[in-house]
């Protein structure tokens, strides 16, 4: 389904002039940005009209979603490709790099193609993970705005969320200090909020473990309501999840009104609508709802919109961006956070359910080095030299580690889609190791392709792109793992056994009571299930690599994100506010005093 309208010849990465083996990602990005397409040109080549583009600088901006979709709504959709991965390791799998490489590779084949990825959180960007723009010759640019601030969407989410907290804590203060007559004069009704059942916390977009648990309202009665509170990272906010799943501004407004902020002393939900803050929260998001438009190093369009984590949230870029891209392109390549047990499971059973979209192909990214770690390879310590096991051929380690890859292949196949395994190439990989992974992947029922996009850009991704085209040409039988009629605990059990490989599920008394209450509540039966689980293992224990056996999934809590449309079972000891490491990335970020350019991002 190729089209010649608005098709631009991909810009070769050779023009960057830098070898990824000898230069850092930020240096390559800066070199590529010398020839970056102006935003208005990028939008025109994609097929957008001038009045559908909202420039925010010369090289990036937003797309007016409502205006563009009013024109494009009846266009046939392109093919929809999701990129996921094996279980992450400290060695990295390169999922975003592969997403950018695949976009470039499909462009080299002559297809109109767009990417759709999440905006990175400042927490990981300035901590351990880095920017998440891709790497080598397969990156999303311009790098600095992509990594820092972008167009202010995360700030808008943060402010909308914290406005709800202001409304909540202010109401609690006034109800504690005012009698009913004075409340009535203030045109307030008593909500009788239970301070022990406040569901919301404050948010900020850094990894700040010192703020996980705090006491607020200390002082006198004019200083607020004193209670225990805390912070979570902004991208775990339900407001961010709503931005990812909303279908238009009206849907977003409706969902914001349903956010449960607390319970009253009788056990009834207190929502943002009860606090009369839902309209003001939405006002913060009227610009954020429009997808951001950036580009690959080779000049293909990339929508960057929404940024929820996958281990503690839904882990997907926005439905809005996907809908837009699918009406402008032959292929849209989107990305789900972390491994297939986390990001793809939520893409499959939540995002696709909410959007009505169905994938044409699913890519599972793996590296030989990461498979060795899953096979029992030595631990990797930040700053320490890489162990020799990861730099020399070891077929036994690779074969043992492929149990993790095969688990993810089986998960994708359960959705009715035959996956494409992408071997993300490293120079230390040997032909025998690559051949072994190819054999095991194809024996497990997947396509398999070697890709050298990190080193060669789109040219290096041609084999992968051809495999994705072949997979997209196959008729698949996409279907959900569960229907919404299935009770919550049965859904959790199904996900635990069929996706994670658990032997069953165990509940704390509190989590069990909550699960039963939600099952008995007719209003909760139509909500999806968004698991909170470590991304570092198929199990709840981040130390267990490979394909753990003989364990049960512990559920310690169940949260409700009624606005986003799902219940949230929380497993293990995972935190909604990550911590900053002893050697964070911000130590290497600086500004060139002569040019003002940011250096050190990766």
CA pair distance 518, 484, nearest whole angstrom: 13
Q: Is 95 a catalytic residue?
A: yes
Q: How far, in Å, are 8, 17, 279, 393, 477 from residue 453 at the CA level?
A: 20, 15, 45, 22, 30
Which value, in Å, is the radius of gyration of the alpha carbons in the chain? 24
Q: Is 202 a catalytic residue?
A: no
Contact between 90 and 382 (Cβ < 8 Å): yes
Q: Is 97 a catalytic residue?
A: yes
Total Cβ atoms within 10 A of residue 191: 19
- Name the active-site residue from 31, 44, 67, 129: 129
- Name the active-site residue from 62, 95, 253, 255: 95
Total Cβ atoms within 10 A of residue 41: 14
Q: Is 344 a catalytic residue?
A: no
CA pair distance 355, 247, nearest whole angstrom: 7
Total Cβ atoms within 10 A of residue 479: 12
The three-class DSSP label of residue 570 is strand
Residue closest to 107 by CA, chosen among 20, 37, 212, 19: 37
- Name the active-site residue from 30, 118, 369, 562: 118
Partners of 114 in beta bridges: 332
Contact between 323 and 316 (Cβ < 8 Å): no
CA dihedral 507, 313, 441, 363 (to 10 degrees): 160
- Name the active-site residue from 338, 344, 347, 551: 338
CA pair distance 312, 291, nearest whole angstrom: 23
Q: How far, in Å, are 47, 58, 234, 361, 365 from residue 120 at the CA level?
A: 26, 21, 11, 24, 19
Q: Is 126 a catalytic residue?
A: no
CA pair distance 83, 330, nearest whole angstrom: 17
Q: Is 346 a catalytic residue?
A: no
- Name the active-site residue from 132, 241, 310, 465: 310
Q: Is 529 a catalytic residue?
A: no
- Name the active-site residue from 84, 87, 89, 97: 97
- Name the active-site residue from 26, 231, 454, 566: 454
Catalytic residues: 95, 97, 118, 129, 310, 338, 426, 454
């Amino acid at each position: 389904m190729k089209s010649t309208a608005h098709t631009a010849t991909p810009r070769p990465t050779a023009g960057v002039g830098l070898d990824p083996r000898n230069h850092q990602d930020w240096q390559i990005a800066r070199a590529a940005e010398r020839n970056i397409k102006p935003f208005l040109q990028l939008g025109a080549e994609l097929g957008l009209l001038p009045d559908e583009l909202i420039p925010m600088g010369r090289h990036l901006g937003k797309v007016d979603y409502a205006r563009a979709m009013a024109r494009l709504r009846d266009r046939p959709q392109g093919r929809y490709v999701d990129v996921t991965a094996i279980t992450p390791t400290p060695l990295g799998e390169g999922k975003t790099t592969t997403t950018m490489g695949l976009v470039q590779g499909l462009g080299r084949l002559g297809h109109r193609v767009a990417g759709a990825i999440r905006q990175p959180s400042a927490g990981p960007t300035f901590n351990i993970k880095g920017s998440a723009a891709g790497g080598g010759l397969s990156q999303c640019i311009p790098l600095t705005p992509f990594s820092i601030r972008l167009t202010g969407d995360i700030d808008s989410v943060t402010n909308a969320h914290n406005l709800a907290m202001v409304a909540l804590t202010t109401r609690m203060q006034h109800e504690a200090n005012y009698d009913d007559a004075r409340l009535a004069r203030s045109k307030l009704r008593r909500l009788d909020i239970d301070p022990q059942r406040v569901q919301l916390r404050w948010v900020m977009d850094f990894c700040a473990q010192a703020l996980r648990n705090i006491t607020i309202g200390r002082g006198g009665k004019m200083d607020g309501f004193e209670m225990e509170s805390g912070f979570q990272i902004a991208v775990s906010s339900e407001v961010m999840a709503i931005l990812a799943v909303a279908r238009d501004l009206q849907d977003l407004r409706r969902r914001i009104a349903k956010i449960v902020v607390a319970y009253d002393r009788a056990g009834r939900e207190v929502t943002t609508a009860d606090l009369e803050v839902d309209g003001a929260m939405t006002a913060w998001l009227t610009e954020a709802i429009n997808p951001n438009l950036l580009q690959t190093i080779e000049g293909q369009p990339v929508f960057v919109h929404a940024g929820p984590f996958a281990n503690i949230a839904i882990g997907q870029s926005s439905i809005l961006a996907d809908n837009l891209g699918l009406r402008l392109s032959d292929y849209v390549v989107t990305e789900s956070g972390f491994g297939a047990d986390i990001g793809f499971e939520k893409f499959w059973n939540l995002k696709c359910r909410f959007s009505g979209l169905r994938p044409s192909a699913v890519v599972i990214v793996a590296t030989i080095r990461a498979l060795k770690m899953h096979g029992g390879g030595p631990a990797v310590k930040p700053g320490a030299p890489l162990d020799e096991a990861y730099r020399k051929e070891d077929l036994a380690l690779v074969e043992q580690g492929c149990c993790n890859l095969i688990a993810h292949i089986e998960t994708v196949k359960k959705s009715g889609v035959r996956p494409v395994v992408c071997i993300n190439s490293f120079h230390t990989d040997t032909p025998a190791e690559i051949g072994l992974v190819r054999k095991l992947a194809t024996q497990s029922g997947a396509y398999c392709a070697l890709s050298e996009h990190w080193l060669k850009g789109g040219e290096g991704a041609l084999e992968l792109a051809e495999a994705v085209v072949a997979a997209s040409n196959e008729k698949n039988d996409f279907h959900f793992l569960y229907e919404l009629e299935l009770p919550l605990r049965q859904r959790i059990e199904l996900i635990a056994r069929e996706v994670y490989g658990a032997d069953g599920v165990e509940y704390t008394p509190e989590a069990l009571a909550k699960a039963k209450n939600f099952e008995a509540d007719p209003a909760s039966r139509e909500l999806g299930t968004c698991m909170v689980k470590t991304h570092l293992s198929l199990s709840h224990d981040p130390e267990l690599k490979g394909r753990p056996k003989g364990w049960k999934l512990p559920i310690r809590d169940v949260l409700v994100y009624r606005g986003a449309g799902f219940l949230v079972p929380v497993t293990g000891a995972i935190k909604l506010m990550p911590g900053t490491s002893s050697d964070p990335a911000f130590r290497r970020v600086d500004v060139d005093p002569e040019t003002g350019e940011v250096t050190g991002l990766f």
